[in-house]
Amino acid sequence: MRIHKDFAGGNITVKSIQGDTVCLQNELRDTAEDWFYWAFCVEGAEGLTLTFKMQKNRLGYFGPAVSHDLKKWHWLDACGSDEFTYHFTEGEDKVYFAHNMLYHPDRFFDFAKEKGLTVETLCTSKKGRNTPCVKIGEGKLSIILTARHHACESTGNYVLEGVLDELVASPIDNCTIFCVPFVDYDGVLDGDQGKSRVPHDQNRDYVPDKKSIYAETDAIRKYADENGCNLAFDFHSPWHKGGRNDRVFIVQNSLEKIDRFNLFGKILEDSITSQSLNYQKANDIAPFVEWNKPSAQFSVYMTAKPECDIAFTLETAYFGVPDNKVSQDRLVELGHCFAKAIKDYIKERAL
């Protein structure tokens, strides 16, 4: 039997194996606070029943996300608070377990190919990889879409895919869409937490008049400065679980633009279908409430641009709740609904 992290997104340390109990710990790496992301693969355990013990706050409401191919994910739907038990059937020679449903970059490349989108290189990452971006359409209105400013936050990618899917099927007139699906591309592939990196993470790298330390954020700023940014949406996952973190919510970042946030929220609420992960405007977080203080975030940087009408972070839960449960399809459908809301908002605001 082999327990390892040798795949895109892998993150685990095996502390001990005693009988059929495996003790695991996730790797914080350069994250300065306690964080919860992990993902590992078990090979060669056919016929065994193993219990995996984790630290506190590492498992969601429905146990681990489980996959056999890193493409399709489902919840195990059984776990204790900090451990889960899995029976490996005959022929089940490779199983992936993770904190959340991973979004493999290959899924994005396959999606882009299927939709006839050309994947370009935004920049070379710190580790020498080509960080991807795509452009859709051409026109005066400039929309910027991003995900994975925080490496571990995969729900944002499913939502983003749904947004792009809808906007390709039914384009916005006279509009250029610029999309960076994996801002922290190295972190996504290496399985980093990405959140609260030292000295700061990618979503604290937008300090006006100060050069970014990450090539990706520098390139995004350059694009926005050269091409303008009328609307910008940054797709994230919130904290692990509990309260608002179990929901979908908009992080309102400007008191001056509060009416616009409320308008978008209302339109989005009206756009949600029964196949989508639900969104309710009441869960949005107002500026200066709890942790929502302005900082050097992508959305704050874009909001402050004179030509920008609205820019914000959408947070989408990792797990949801029993009557509003996360699945890959429901996240993508949320993206479809979100794209429809963008279109209706543009009409309402006459942009």
Q: Given the rule CB under 5 A, which residues bind Zn ion?
A: 150, 153, 236
- The span from the CA of 74 to the CA of 77, in Å, is 9
Q: Tell me the closest approach of the beta carbon of residue 9 to Zn ion, in angstroms.
A: 16
Return the residue matching tokens 């004179």. 306
Q: Tell me the closest approach of the beta carbon of residue 34 to Zn ion, in angstroms.
A: 16
Q: Tell me the closest approach of the beta carbon of residue 177 to Zn ion, in angstroms.
A: 21
- Kindly report the number of other CB atoms within 10 A of residue 38's CB atom: 27
Indicate if the alpha-carbon torsion angle 168, 220, 279, 309 is positive or negative: negative
The H-assigned helical ranges of 272-327 are: 298-303
Question: What per-residue string of b and e applies to 307-346 under the rule 16 or more CB within 10 Å gives b?
Answer: ebbbbbbbbbbbbbeeebebbbebbbbbbbbbbbbbbbbb
For Zn ion, give the closer residue by CB, 236 or 330.
Answer: 236
Query: Which residues neighbour 296 within 8 Å (Cβ) at sequence distance 6 or greater?
Result: 200, 204, 205, 206, 207
Distance set, CA 168 to CA 109, 147, 175, 319 (Å): 15, 18, 12, 28
For Zn ion, give the closer residue by CB, 131 or 142.
Answer: 131
Which residue type does 68 have?
A: H
Q: Tell me the closest approach of the beta carbon of residue 152 to Zn ion, in angstroms.
A: 9
Q: Tell me the closest approach of the beta carbon of residue 65 to Zn ion, in angstroms.
A: 18
For Zn ion, give the closer residue by CB, 153 or 309.
Answer: 153
For Zn ion, give the closer residue by CB, 136 or 183.
Answer: 183
Q: Tell me the closest approach of the beta carbon of residue 104 to Zn ion, in angstroms.
A: 19
- Kindly report the number of other CB atoms within 10 A of residue 166's CB atom: 20
For Zn ion, give the closer residue by CB, 96 or 298.
Answer: 298
For Zn ion, give the closer residue by CB, 168 or 250.
Answer: 250
For 282, counting Cβ atoms within 10 Å of its Cβ (0-12 exposed, 13-18 middle, 19+ buried), the class is: exposed
Q: Tell me the closest approach of the beta carbon of residue 11 to Zn ion, in angstroms.
A: 16
For Zn ion, give the closer residue by CB, 150 or 260.
Answer: 150
CB-based contact 125:106 (threshold 8 Å): no
